[in-house]
Chain A
Amino acid sequence: MALKATLTRMSLPDHGFASVLRPTPGGLWCPEGDFYIDPPRPVARAVITHGHADHARAGHGAVLATPETLAIMGERYGADFAGRTQALTYGERLKVGGVEVSLAPAGHVLGSAQATVRHGGLTITASGDYKRRRDPTCAAFEPVPSDVFITEATFGLPVFRHPPDTQEIGRLLRSVQQFPERAHLVGAYALGKAQRVIRLLREAGYDETIYVHGALERLNRLYEHFGVDLGPLAPATGSKADFAGRIVIAPPSAIADRCSRRFPDPVTAFASGWMSVRARVRQRGVELPLILSDHADWDELTATLTELSPQEIWITHGRDDALRRWAELEGLTARALHLVGYEDEDDD
């Protein structure tokens, strides 16, 4: 009852969109299908766009997601992470209550999906987190024509223009050459970023053993299981001297702490979209910033919105102010949903 009262007080989108999908304090909710998309707290029924912790939480009654996302959740939370699970492959359509649900690739991480809900001639797509550039570790984003397109805006400022991946990987490899006596410790988020960095290194012709922090091992195996070849990997254990001239991949939290002391005078690198802003680099004490993001940059966000030109743009999280300003200049309707609970894994 309390929830209902709150709902009626919130300003709801009109055009009947609210019967398909609406923002609530508990997350994006579909009244006709009675499920939430990426809810921040346990609910009876959830559609999960991708495996990042702020989108995929444990403890839901039932979860609908891609097979890869279900596998990732199982790996992270244990097999009993939800009461029931149901896999939905990209492009498949499923009736849920009075609505039809389908998933399309979001290009964000392995298994990441945009969730499209159709009802009464209206189509709303919740894109979760996404990017548009090629990623060798996951399926490329597919635009879904929609009346409402729900977008993130993590890098929703025109100062964020991620350079080509090859350029950033090139900088890392050049540094390894230039400092052969030092270890290169690359901070990369455990799900998605780490595997992408490894895969990009392989594509750049780096076929040496890459050392990985223990926290990444299981997800690496899972990626390999889904057909992403990561090449020779080894755990980052051993004596200091073993790591001279080597690349070590670790979760972001590990590059700052004492664990980095195990390596010989390490060059600390960090693969994140935030690394284009110098103050952020300094704040983290990073020596070699690598601008590699799994989120759309400004150009990708605006190109996507232009391409889809939906009736309404809803912005879940990030810099909604700047993106709304852009939409206004372009004559598009955009509103900020101010959904809470989404952090940015790049910032981890």
Chain B
Amino acid sequence: MRAFAALLDRLSFTASRNAKLRLIRDHLADAPDPDRGWALAALTGALSFTAAKPAMIRQAVEARVDAELFRLSYDYVGDLAETAALIWPARHGANREPELSEVIDTLNTAKRGEVQGLLEGWLDALDADGRWALLKLVTGGLRVGVSARLAWQAAADFGGVEVADIQEVWHAQTPPYADLLAWLDGKTERPSAMAHGRFRPVMLAQPIDEAIDLPRLDPAAYAAEWKWDGIRVQAVSEGGVKRLYSRTGEDVSGAFPDVLAALNYEGAIDGELLVLRDGRVAPFGDLQQRLNRKTAEAKLIASHPAGIRAYDLLAAEGEDLRALPFAERRARLEAFVAAIGSDRIDLSPLVPFETWKGLAARRAEPPPGDPQSAEGLMLKRLDSVYEAGRPKGPWFKWKRDPHLIDAVLMYAQRGHGKRSSFYSDYTFGVWTEDADGIHVLTPVGKAYFGFTDEELKQLDKFVRDHTVERFGPVRSVTATREFGLVLEVAFEGLQRSKRHKSGVAMRFPRISRIRWDKPAKEADELATLERMLD
């Protein structure tokens, strides 16, 4: 437990991605089995305990510490688990310190009534760091700024393999990942990836640079399709196992039982998750109401029915199609979707075109109906295999509105008048590299409208939950490569500006969308903005 606690402690204060990778990698190298596997499970979110409720912790502490002293301490520290970890009185001669695996095994088999006693015994035996890690683990509050993807990358670094290799086998493995770690140790072959319902690493598109890329691309070699305004998902149904994954491999099935029920096929579809009403795409805001919920309510499901618009077919009837060229996969997809015959799953149509100019015109003025709500176009080379990651060349995205960027929320300020109780003025930034080559955010603008009242409440909550510092009415929020809130910002024009540190100033910026789904590090770069200047 000690090594795991030290790892969590260190991770929670480390901002740099590389440093986090090193910490996790070293832990995988140093910690024994099965503890290191459990640590990996904890970091990737594969463990969830909710056995211990805050009230239980409070009760255990108050049995040992004067309530008034506890209150003063909690006031000061501001976090229940942390206060409990710090204030817990040492018991000399207490039990041997428990190992992480011991805690997990015991909790997994403990009866409800036994949890409190177990917890108290462990708290007696651990030091403050260990107690903190334990309490965070058992209350399901393990937030140390590590995404599943980052942990996979660290595991890949440790084993000297590609992260896609890890992702490929991940969902076929179960904690504490003995086979996976033995493979990463170099002791065994790669474990089977053949588990039903597993995730396949996603292929992503490069943003296109119209001036540079288009002239050297042959329009006849590419297919075009609309880039729908939803959430990219992978819908897998194999041997009775049905799963819906986000593009980073997180299982989001729980929020979309209606979609899951419609996965009546044997294969893996890559598509866009949308709210679909009578085959028409509803605004992104409608989908947003279904997101960020662990479970869905029947009423919401009925009023906001979700479905998938299919882009690609990765596997069918037990056959892996990813090595086939796009044109062939597409033909298979069309037949596959037709055979499913569900109004929850339809086909993203191709956009026919002859020349880039002709396609640009369609992009600028999409035909009436769904395409008008599309974000833009995707270009896919007809011979492209389905390759994990964001390879340069085979796929491009060509967003519709040139004055649309994804920025990261940096500061929020209290509003005026009836908004004075909300943090409603948002300063956002894009990535740039500082003199040392480190990615930092540089503020590029400020917006205070474009969102609904409901979204304002969500933004306000985000600001309060993730405040780093306060300066009078302004708060800075967590905004790192690993964690931050991405805002899609629309604006009318861009000018050079000496007054702004970033060197650019936006005209009429507004929040066009809150990208709860988008990783902060994928927000735009300052260079993208600079290219818009001309």
Residues of A within 8 A of B (CB): 157-161, 163, 171, 175, 178-179, 261, 265, 267, 276-279, 281-283, 286-289, 319, 321-322, 325-326, 329
CB distance from A251 to the nearest CB of B (A): 21
For chain B, residues 55 to 90, give those with C-beta under 8 angstroms from any C-beta of chain A. 65-66, 68-70, 72-73, 76-79, 82-83, 86-87, 89-90
Chain A residues contacting B468 (CB-CB under 8 Å) are: 282
- Are B78's CB and A279's CB within 8 A? yes
Q: CB within 8 Å of A: which residues of B?
A: 6, 10, 12-16, 19, 22-23, 26, 65-66, 68-70, 72-73, 76-79, 82-83, 86-87, 89-90, 127-128, 436, 438, 468-469
* Cβ-defined contact, A278 with B79, below 8 A: yes
Quote the shortest CB–CB distance from A280 to chain B (angstroms). Answer: 9
Contact of A279 among B14, B77, B436 (CB under 8 A): B77
Once A163-B127, A163-B128, A277-B77 are accepted as A-B contacts, the answer to whether A282 and B72 lie under 8 Å apart by CB is no
B13: contacting residue among A160, A277, A281, CB under 8 A: A281
Decide: A278 near B12, CB < 8 A? Known: A159-B76, A322-B72: yes
Q: With A178-B23, A179-B22 in contact, is A161–B66 under 8 Å at CB?
A: no
CB of B304 to closest CB in A, whole Å: 37
Cβ-defined contact, B72 with A278, below 8 A:
no
Q: State whether B13 touches A157 (Cβ < 8 A).
A: no
Q: What is the CB-to-nearest-CB distance from B148 to chain A, in angstroms, rounded to a whole number?
A: 23
CB closest chain-A residue, reference B132: A278
Nearest Cβ distance between residue A295 and chain B, in whole angstroms? 16
Rounded to whole Å, the gap between the CB of B428 and the closest CB of chain A is: 21
Q: How many Å lie between the Cα of A289 and that of B76 in the bound state?
A: 18
* Distance between Cα atoms of A178 and B16 in the complex (Å): 14
Residue of B nearest to A278 (CB): B82
Query: In whole Å, how far is B398's beta carbon from the nearest beta carbon of chain A?
Result: 37
Between-chain CB contacts (< 8 Å), 5 pairs = A158-B69, A158-B89, A178-B23, A277-B82, A282-B468
Residues on B with C-beta less than 8 A from A286 are 13
Partner of B68, one of A160, A175, A283, A325: A325
Would A322 and B69 be within 8 Å (CB), given that A163-B128, A265-B436 are in contact?
yes
CA distance in complex: A289, B14 (Å): 11
Considering only CB atoms, which chain A residue lies closest to B73 in the complex? Answer: A159
A261 to B436 CA separation, bound complex (whole angstroms): 9
CB within 8 Å: A-B pair count: 72
CB nearest neighbor in B for A281: B13
B22 pairs with A178, CB closer than 8 A? yes
Q: Which residue of B lies closest to A240 (CB)?
A: B436
Measured CB to CB, the nearest residue on chain B to A289 is B13
Q: Are A282 and B13 in contact (CB under 8 A)?
A: yes
A312 to chain B, nearest CB (A): 21
Starting from the known contacts A175-B10, A265-B16, A322-B73, 11 additional A-B residue pairs (CB-CB under 8 Å) come to: A157-B76, A158-B65, A178-B26, A179-B19, A265-B438, A276-B128, A286-B13, A287-B13, A319-B72, A322-B72, A329-B66
A contact residues around B128 at 8 Å (CB): 161, 163, 276
4 A-B pairs closest in CB distance: A159-B86, A159-B73, A322-B72, A158-B87
- Give the residues in chain B near A277, CB-CB below 8 Å: 76-77, 82, 86
Q: Smallest distance from the beta carbon of B392 to chain A beta carbons, Å?
A: 28
Q: In the assembled complex, which residues on chain B have CB atoms less than 8 Å from the CB atom of A321?
A: 72
**Which residue in chain B gives the minimum CB-CB distance to A286?**
B13
Q: Please, how many angstroms separate the alpha-carbon atoms of A282 and B15 in the complex?
A: 11
Q: Looking across the interface, which residue of chain A has its beta carbon closest to that of B25? A: A178
Q: Looking at A179, A281, A286, A329, which has the most chain B CB atoms within 10 Å of its CB?
A: A179
Q: How far is the CB of B321 from chain A (nearest CB, A)?
A: 43
Q: Which of A158, A171, A283 has the most CB of B within 10 A?
A: A158
CA distance A279 to B13 in the complex (A): 10
B82: A residues at CB distance < 8 A: 277-278
| Chain B residues within an 8 Å CB radius of A279 | 77-79
Are B13 and A288 in touch, CB under 8 angstroms? Answer: yes
Q: Assess whether B14 is in contact with A159, with CB atoms less than 8 Å apart.
A: no
CB-based nearest A residue for B79 = A278
Distance in angstroms from A267 CB to nearest chain B CB is 8
Q: Cβ of A159 and Cβ of B436 under 8 Å apart?
A: no
- Of chain B, the residue at the smallest CB distance from A182 is B19
Contacts of B86 in A (CB 8 A): 158-161, 276-277
Interfacial chain B residues near A287, Cβ < 8 Å: 13-15, 19
Given contacts A163-B128, A179-B22, A276-B128, contact A325 B69 (CB under 8 A): yes
Task: Please give the distance in Å from A272's CB to the nearest CB on chain B.
Answer: 14
Q: Which residue of B lies closest to A174 (CB)?
A: B6
Residues in A whose Cβ lies below 8 Å from that of B436: 261, 265
> Once the chains are docked, how many angstroms separate the CA of A277 from the CA of B10?
14
Residues of A within 8 A of B10 (CB): 175, 288
Determine if B13 and A159 form an interchain contact, defined as CB atoms under 8 angstroms apart.
no
B437: nearest chain-A partner, CB-CB: A265
**Cβ contact of A159, chosen from B22, B23, B83, B127, cutoff 8 A:** B83
List of B residues within 8 angstroms of A261 by Cβ: 436
Minimum CB–CB distance from B470 to chain A (whole Å) comes to 10
Contact present for A159 and B26 (CB under 8 Å): no
Q: Which chain A positions have C-beta within 8 A of B73?
A: 157-159, 322
Task: Kindly report which residue of chain A lies nearest to residue B84, judged by CB atoms.
Answer: A159
**Known contacts A163-B127, A179-B19; is A326 also within 8 Å of B69 by CB?**
yes
Which residues of chain A are within 8 angstroms of B13 by Cβ–Cβ distance?
281-282, 286-289
Would you call A159 and B77 a contact (CB within 8 A)?
yes
- In the bound complex, do residue B72 and residue A325 qualify as a contact, i.e. CB atoms below 8 Å apart? yes
In the bound complex, how far is the Cα of B68 from the Cα of A325, in angstroms? Answer: 8
Q: How far is the CB of A299 from chain B (nearest CB, A)?
A: 8
CA distance A267 to B77 in the complex (A): 25
Chain B residue nearest to A167 (CB atoms) is B127
**Complex: A279 Cα to B87 Cα, angstroms:** 16
Residue of A nearest to B19 (CB): A179
A171 vs B129: C-alpha distance when bound (angstroms): 13
Complexed CA–CA distance, A265 and B17 (Å):
12
C-alpha spacing A342/B149, complex, angstroms: 48
Say how far A112's CB is from chain B's closest CB, in angstroms.
Answer: 26
Chain B nearest Cβ from A166, distance in angstroms: 13
The smallest beta-carbon distance between A266 and chain B, in angstroms, is 11
Query: Which A residues lie within 8 Å of B66 (CB)?
Result: 325-326, 329
| Complex alpha-carbon distance, A113 and B127, angstroms | 32
Q: Which residues of B contact A326 (CB under 8 A)?
A: 66, 69
A283 is contacted by which of B15, B16, B19, B469 (Cβ under 8 Å)? Answer: B469
Contact between B78 and A159, CB atoms less than 8 A apart: no
Minimum CB–CB distance from A113 to chain B (whole Å) comes to 30
In the complex, what's the smallest C-beta–C-beta distance from B435 to chain A, in angstroms?
8
Quick one: closest A residue to B469, CB to CB? Answer: A283
